[in-house]
Amino acid sequence: MILQQLVDSLSLEVLTEGADLMRGVSGGYVSDMISDVIGNAREGQVWITFQVHLNIVAAASLKGLSAIIMVNNRRPLPETLQRASEENVVIMTTSLPAFDLVGLLYDLGLRCR
């Protein structure tokens, strides 16, 4: 699966300019704790979170995550978006709460493990 398929299927709003939506998606991870993501998310997963501050970009970049998906219409701070563009981290948002988004991602075949 690639990011573009998620965007099309779930009407996600892509926020980073020039985002590479051909990037593969190997699964998903949900957490609002940075060290939990660093310890337990896997390369190529999408990260579903409520966090919007700058430091999530470094975490996503370190782990080689496919994209960050913000829930409940959360929007990144401007500096977060700028850093994300610099580091090639894709950020998207959805009006759905995490529970519903994860359910739909699961239906599409994504798993955590």
Partner 1 sequence: MTSSSEGTFFLTGKDFVKAGTASGSLKRVLEDMGVPSAVVRRAAIAAFEAEMNTIIYAVAGIMHYYVTAEMIKVVIQDMGQGIENIELAMTEGYSTAPDYIREMGFGSGMGLPNIKKNVDKFMLSSVSGEGTTLEFIINLEKT
User: For partner 1, what does the binding mask look like between residues 9 and 38, x meaning CB under 8 A?
Assistant: ----------------------xxxxxx-x
- The tokens of 87 are what? 């580091």
Burial of 79 (0-12, 13-18, 19+ CB in 10 A): exposed
Smallest separation, CB 88 to partner 1 (Å): 12
Instruction: Work out how close the CB of 107 gets to partner 1 at its nearest, in angstroms, rounded to a whole number.
Output: 27
47/85 Cα distance (integer angstroms): 17
Question: Does residue 57 touch partner 1 according to CB under 8 A?
Answer: yes
Q: What are phi and psi of 82, to 5 degrees?
A: -65, -45
Residue whose CB is less far from partner 1, 7 or 102: 102
Is 108 among the residues that bind partner 1 (CB under 8 A)? no
| Rounded Cα gap, residues 8 and 63, in angstroms | 25
List residues near partner 1 by CB under 8 A: 31-36, 38-39, 43, 49, 51, 53-59, 61-64, 79, 87
